[in-house]
Amino acid sequence: MPSIASLNNVSKNFGKLTALKDLSLAINEGQAVALLGANGAGKSTALSILLGLKQATSGTAELFGKKPGDPIVMRNIGVTPQTVGFPVQLTTKELLEFAISHFPNPKKIDY
């Protein structure tokens, strides 16, 4: 069965700090996966690479057979980030317009 998400020999360095070293992981359709580890173990870094939010120092990542961050791929996943925030100067209308811009053919919002 082909994997829907994979990290292949992924390493990530932040200066002299090695956050991930040669991590390989394959997740198949229908699997539930939990990443467990101490603070600083690299869980968030691994997910950030898998989502295309960070680049690996070496190795490769794939989501649905494509490069992470591909807009078509990103429409098929949902993620709740550790921290979230919006610029305080945005109006409610601007926040709604930003949110619906992530979907193809969004419904019109009546203000």
Whole-number pLDDT of residue 47: 93
- 96 pairs with which residues across the strands? none
Q: Residues 87-109: what's their mean pLDDT?
A: 84
Per-domain residue ranges for the chain? Answer: 3-74
Q: Maximum CA pair distance of the chain?
A: 52
Model pLDDT, residue 14: 95
CATH architecture of the domain formed by 3-74: 3-Layer(aba) Sandwich (3.40)
Rg, C-alpha atoms of the chain: 17
pLDDT band at 107 (very low <50, low <70, confident <90, very high): confident
User: What is the Cβ-side half-sphere exposure of residue 32, based on CA atoms within 13 angstroms?
Assistant: 0
d(CA 7, CA 11): 10
Query: In which residue are the tokens 């794939």 written?
Result: 62
